[in-house]
Amino acid sequence: MLALKKSRPPRKPRLAALWLLGLLGSSLLVGCDLRLRQPVVEEIRERGSLVVLTRNAPTTYFENRDQQKAGFEHDLVVAFARHLGVTHHFKILNNSSEIFESLRRGEGDLAAAGLIRTAERELEFRFGPDYQEVDQQVVCRRGGRRPTDILRLAQVSLAVEAGGEHETRLQELKDLVPDLTWQSIPELSTEHILEKVWKKEVDCTIADSHVVAINRRYYPELVVKFPISATQPQAWVLPKRAMLLQREVINWFHNMEESGQLATLYDRYFGHVEPNHNEYDYVEHRSFYSRVNERLPEFKELFQEAADRYLIPWQLLAALAYQESHWDPSATSHTGVRGIMMLTRSTARWMGVKNRLDPQESILGGAWYLANLRRRLPEEIQEPDRTWIALASYNVGLGHIRDARELSRELGKNPNLWRDLRTVLPLLSRKKYYKQLKSGYARGSEPIFFVRHIRRYMDILEQMEKSAENPTASRKSS
């Protein structure tokens, strides 16, 4: 019998219990013969640099729109290196197989690349705390050949990254499906193979759930069929000799979780991703891509003009406009808001917009309004939370955001973090809370979806722009 769990999104980190176990184990090992260990932490500090093995992917390490290095794993490593008092140096490899081989050869202090902890690997390497959980999923293309269950996997063409956990899982499944075959591709990462599925070069592949969630925004025809593994933990990987470094990593991750910094970082990179694959809206994503080609070119220069004037990324303004009107300059709602940026009559009058249906006036007015909201927020709110909270204000009004921030304080949450504020906003529709608030009742769930959608659209536009600037590179090389 196969024990398969229902597919679910990457979980937010829960490290406390693992930290205690890991710390206990490390403490016992520290008492071992000093000749059996080498002080890797001191080696790193003497060298002045932490060497980290990773891979180029949107879930780990990439270059953002400002041509700065970014990514969930990147930001974790930078923070850890700062904690050690050293600089950081990334060694970029193609896939997990290369990363583990490089770690075996002693070419890095640790590996941070969304790697899976397994019992077999624990015999050879040390691991930090588990910080995320994922499923291995069968991913195919809408309209193509798609198996309905594991027994029918042999009926489609499969390709996976060579030497990784996905190939290991397929090897295990051969006992159940003797005719199962697949193509192992050593030179391509999972992200690149997902692109091959999208291009119909192969029927299906196996990918981790968080990688699928990110990439389906760029390739909306990708379809998750079913999981082929139980939920698996991800963690940093260290050489076997790095006992003291492992203890340092365990303690540091625990402090990151306790301080809320880990959850904040998680939200920055995954907060706008659909919670699970069943909530993915293919029709909505397909419509967005169609309108990018059909409608956006007419307004792109206007968004860029407004972006230059108000120092807001044009992709953010375009995403905001799409969420409001689907880039329809004549859009009108039942509440009387109108135009491509859906301005109210009073807001337009305040900003001097004479014709809300004029795209240029509307876009410049909406950009000014967003910039003004961002400026009026308290100085202690830092980016990117400042932008997300300003967007929520654009949707629900600054008065309700002020109420939500005050309520956040009363409930012991941080009013300066969007991830905390969005847990409080739904309470604005509950009488127990809104009757005590200055601005009263609000549909507090709306700005949460509003911001999530805009972040998703913005991310897609940035990736498309990057691909257009470098057409010879794969989309997923960023």
Question: Nearest CA to 281 among 225, 327, 223?
Answer: 223
Sign of CA dihedral 133, 137, 140, 143: negative
Q: Say if strands 49-55 and 110-111 run parallel, antiparallel, or are unpaired.
A: parallel
Provide the edge-to-edge strand list for the sheet that holds 110-111.
87-93, 49-55, 110-111, 237-238, 126-127
* In contact, 137 and 211? CB cutoff 8 Å: no
Instruction: Answer whether the bond into residue 384 is a cis peptide, omega within 30°.
Output: yes
Radius of gyration of the chain (CA): 24
CA distance linking residue 188 with residue 350, whole number of Å = 54
Both ends of the chain: CA-CA distance in Å?
Answer: 40
Q: Are 161 and 97 in contact (CB under 8 A)?
A: yes
Please give the angle made by the CA atoms of 138, 140 and 143, to the nearest 5 degrees.
150
The residue from 165, 248, 324, 462 that is catalytic is: 324
> Is 324 tagged catalytic?
yes
Handedness of CA 12, 17, 19, 25 (dihedral sign): negative
CA dihedral sign, ordered 9, 10, 13, 15: positive
Tallying the residues shown for the chain, one arrives at 478
Using alpha carbons, list the distances in angstroms from residue 258 to 15, 46, 255, 264: 9, 29, 5, 11
3-state secondary structure (DSSP) of residue 268: helix
What is the DSSP secondary-structure string of 49-89? EEEEEEE-BTTTBEE-TTS-EE-HHHHHHHHHHHHHTSEEE
Please give the positions annotated as active site: 324
